Amino acid sequence: MKTVSSIILIWMVTSTASYERGEEESCDEVKFVTREQWKARPPVRTTPMALPVSHIIIMHTCFGACDNTPLCKRNVKTIQDYHMDDKGWWDIAYSFLIGGDGRVYVGVGFHNVGEHTINYNDISIGVAFLGNFDYMIPTVEMLNATKELINCGIKNGYITPSAEIHGQRDATCTNSPGNNLYAEIKKWDNFIGGRLPLYHCCADHKKG
Ligand SMILES: *[C@@H]1O[C@H](CO)[C@@H](O)[C@H](O)[C@H]1NC(C)=O
């Protein structure tokens, strides 16, 4: 009997995953690529996010730079496989990913807690640019897509209008989002640089 109820519980947790809610349908300005479109695996589990969030953390993936949609889709899927199979996480780590094609790839989305920034996962949306922005320059399209994504989140009540924008390096010991991308987000309204109160350094987050 215990086993049966555990199985039912697991089924309930996984089947209430809210990817079907479709943040991708709620904003015309954002060119979303849905999980279905990039052929995401279902999450092992999900944790619902308490919305609206008050922080947005910008990061880069280092690997997986792409300039066209078929390649971006493949790279996002490879990142999900890496996070689930090698890192042992429940899903792809990021809330959203920004492709060099100017599209927004739905990771765990607005409605679920990601696995990107220790101490900030349950209070922030993690937006990851595909590529290494110590070397690459973020395009106008990528920056625009990110701003429109944030506007979309605010419009739908998922992000507070006054939400603070940070680079991942402000929260943990990493060079992410890379010097070139960090230089761009510094110019944005609501950007707050410098070490965050819950800054945490751990071996697992040193890379990037
Ligand atoms: C993004 O680009 C579109 C099309 O060029 C433009 O209309 C819009 O104002 C831009 N959004 C932002 C936030 O800059």
144 CA to centre of ligand 1 in angstroms: 6
Q: How far is CA 40 from CA 23, 62, 150, in A?
A: 16, 20, 23
Query: Is residue 144 in contact with ligand 1, taking CB distance under 6 Å?
Result: yes
* Count of residues in the chain: 208
Pairing type for strands 159-167 and 53-60 reads: parallel
Q: How far is CA 162 from CA 55, 159, 193, 201, in A?
A: 9, 8, 15, 27
Q: How far is CA 168 from CA 29, 64, 206, in A?
A: 25, 18, 11
Residue type, 109: G
195: helix, strand or coil: coil
Give the pLDDT score at 184.
98
122 CA to centre of ligand 1 in angstroms: 29
Instruction: Report whether 83 contacts 93 (CB < 8 A).
Output: yes
Output the residue whose Cα is nearest ligand 1's atom 8.
144
Q: Convert the pLDDT of each residue in 52-104 to its tens digit.
A: 999 999 999 999 999 999 999 999 999 999 999 999 999 999 999 999 999 99
- Which atom belonging to ligand 1 lies closest to the Cα atom of 148? 13
The residue with tokens 């640089």 is 193
Query: Is residue 141 in contact with ligand 1, taking CB distance under 6 Å?
Result: no
Terminal alpha carbon distance of the chain: 46
What's the token pair of residue 8? 């039912």
**Range 109-122 average pLDDT:** 93
**Range 5-24 average pLDDT:** 47
Give the pLDDT score at 64.
97
pLDDT band at 200 (very low <50, low <70, confident <90, very high): confident
Per-residue pLDDT at 7 exceeds 50: no
104 CA to centre of ligand 1 in angstroms: 14
- Which atom belonging to ligand 1 lies closest to the Cα atom of 144? 1
Q: Convert the pLDDT of each residue in 133-166 to its tens digit.
A: 999 999 999 999 999 999 999 999 999 999 999 9
Query: Is residue 147 in contact with ligand 1, taking CB distance under 6 Å?
Result: yes
How far apart CA 7 and CA 71 sit, in angstroms, is 37
Query: Is residue 205 in contact with ligand 1, taking CB distance under 6 Å?
Result: no
206 CA to centre of ligand 1 in angstroms: 34
Output the residue whose Cα is nearest ligand 1's atom 2.
144
pLDDT band at 24 (very low <50, low <70, confident <90, very high): low
